[in-house]
Amino acid sequence: MLAVASCSASTSMTGGQAAMPPASQPTVQGASATAGALQINDAWARAAAEGMTGAVYFTVRNTGSTPDRLLKAQSSVAKSVETHTTVMKDNVMSMQPVDGYDIPAGGELVLKPGGNHIMLVGMNKDVKADESVTLTLQFEKAGPVDITVKARQP
Q: Is the dihedral of CA 145, 101, 150, 129 positive or negative?
A: negative
**pLDDT tens digit string along 100-115?**
999 999 999 999 999 9
State mean pLDDT over 8-25: 34
pTM of this prediction?
A: 0.79
Q: Between 54 and 14, where is the model more confident?
A: 54
- The Cα 23–Cα 11 span in angstroms is 19
pLDDT at 140 over 60: yes
Per-residue pLDDT, 27? 38
**pLDDT tens digit string along 60-105?**
999 999 999 999 999 999 999 999 999 988 999 899 999 999 999 9
Confidence of residue 3 (pLDDT cuts 50, 70, 90): very low
pLDDT at 17 over 50: no
